[in-house]
Amino acid sequence: MKKRNIVVIGASTGGFEAIRQLIARLPADLDAAIFIVWHMSPDVTGILPQLINRQKTILATNAVDKEPIVMNRVYVAPPDRHLLLEQGVVRVTRGPKENRFRPAVDPLFRSAAYMYGPRVVGIVLSGGLDDGTAGLWAIKHRGGLAIVQQPEEAEVPSMPENALAAVQVDYCLSIAEIAALLVKLTAEPIQEVKQEDMKEQEKTEIEVRIALQDQALEQGVMKLGHLSPYACPECHGVLSAIQDGDIIRYRCHTGHAYSANSLLTSITENIEDSLWGAIRGVEESMILLNNLGDHYAENNQPKLAAMYFKKAQEAESRANIVRQAVLNHEQLTNDRISRQATEEDLTSSER
């Protein structure tokens, strides 16, 4: 009889220590395969397996494309590569970024749910924003179990909090409790679950194929949702809005994917970049206008020179206006907006 022996774990900031503690608490003979995505810079060497192996528990390795899946092994996504699961094998790809990351948690969770359904246990640990929420929803939708680290224990609680807000998770526990629960869950037989409807199954397959580096347009990315008014911050392609239960997320026709939160963060980051670009352009015109004014002054054309100097002063005034705008610009996330709303409520109640 099949067991819940496919364990997928997602983490970001603060997740390194959470992962280390979780694996350290598991028995060395755990009859399950564990797959981990931890957000990291593409330039960072994948040292997580080495540090896990110092604990002398379950053997951990950086995943290798198309290697067989074996029980009692920890597979870690290498830097700048998505980690995905196919039937019996691991896939390591350079598919489009999701939620601004590669590796990203959602592709791992989604592919595990698609291939292994109720055999999957998904775990979201410490991290910022909400990567892993949509993938955890897919795991639940296909009969798997969803576990979230207690936000009050997490170094950065955003990923657990967002998962709790959007997904009907099965357990919200401390790291120590998660480890004990995994020992129990991986030994239990699976109960029969209803099959996913064909439309949802097709949608999941399309997204898995995109992460596997298949061309998004050929795979039918435009069928995933309805066109939105937003452009992809990565490539400026049109984004389609995709609905997963109450979750709304976005994917462009080249394959990049965003949660609403990560899209908001990217857009507001790009606003600041655009404003600095505008300042640069205006200041370049100011420098050129002053240089031309000097040229005409040296050539005994004072009226023309004065007009160039006047235009340079006007450009400087415009640059100062834009500079003030960029200094007042706010980097927005759902978490920051929620905190500000809470602070306003507290301020109002104190009046």
Tell how strand 89-93 and strand 82-86 pair up. Answer: antiparallel
Q: Pick the range with the lowest mean pLDDT from 100-104, 190-194, 305-309, 340-344.
A: 190-194
Q: Residue 237: phi, psi to the nearest 5?
A: -75, 160
Residues 6+ apart with CB under 8 A from 182: 7, 26, 30, 32, 121
Identify the pLDDT of residue 193: 67
Kindly report the three-state secondary structure assignment for every residue of the chain: CCECCEEEEEECCCHHHHHHHHHHCCCCCCCCEEEEEECCCCCCCCCHHHHHHCCCCCCEEECCCCCECCCCEEEECCCCCEEEEECCEEEEECCCCECCECCCHHHHHHHHHHHHHHHEEEEECCCCCCCCHHHHHHHHHCCCEEEEECCCCCCCCHHHHHHHHHCCCCEEECHHHHHHHHHHHCCCECCCCCCCCHHHHHHHHHHHHHHCCCCHHHHCHHHCCEEEEEECCCCCCEEEEEEECCEEEEEECCCCEEEHHHHHHHHHHHHHHHHHHHHHHHHHHHHHHHHHHHHHHHCCCHHHHHHHHHHHHHHHHHHHHHHHHHHHCCCCCHHHHHHHHHHHHHHHHHC
> How far, in Å, CA of 267 to CA of 280, rounded?
20
Identify the pLDDT of residue 61: 96
pLDDT higher than 80, residue 335: no
**Residue 141: which of 181, 193, 89, 185 has the closest Cα?**
193
pLDDT higher than 90, residue 82: yes
Q: Pick the range with the lowest mean pLDDT from 256-260, 273-277, 338-342.
A: 338-342
Identify the pLDDT of residue 84: 98
Identify the pLDDT of residue 347: 72
Segment 30-63, tens digit of pLDDT: 999 999 999 988 877 778 999 999 988 999 999 9
Identify the pLDDT of residue 344: 79
39 in catalytic set? yes
Identify the pLDDT of residue 351: 63
Look up residue 188 and give its two tokens: 């239990």
The percent of residues in the chain predicted with pLDDT above 90, rounded, is: 84
- What are 226's strand-pairing partners? 241
Which residue is it, tokens 């029969």? 192
Identify the pLDDT of residue 336: 81
pLDDT higher than 80, residue 128: yes
Identify the pLDDT of residue 194: 63
User: In degrees, to the nearest 5, what angle opens at C-alpha 215 toward C-alphas 211 and 218?
Assistant: 125
Q: Pick the range with the lowest mean pLDDT from 47-51, 89-93, 196-200.
A: 196-200
Give pTM, 2 decimals: 0.89
- Write down the catalytic residue from 106, 111, 130, 131: 131
Look up residue 62 and give its two tokens: 């950086």
**Residue 329: which of 269, 244, 252, 262 has the closest Cα?**
269
Q: What is the mean pLDDT of the chain?
A: 93
Identify the pLDDT of residue 196: 65
- Write down the catalytic residue from 39, 82, 141, 256: 39
Identify the pLDDT of residue 40: 86
The pLDDT of 169-197, averaged and rounded, is 89
How many CB atoms are closer than 10 A to CB 102? 22
Look up residue 126 and give its amino acid: S
197 in catalytic set? no
pLDDT higher than 70, residue 79: yes
**Residue 106: which of 179, 182, 174, 159 has the closest Cα?**
159
Look up residue 191 and give its two tokens: 């109960």
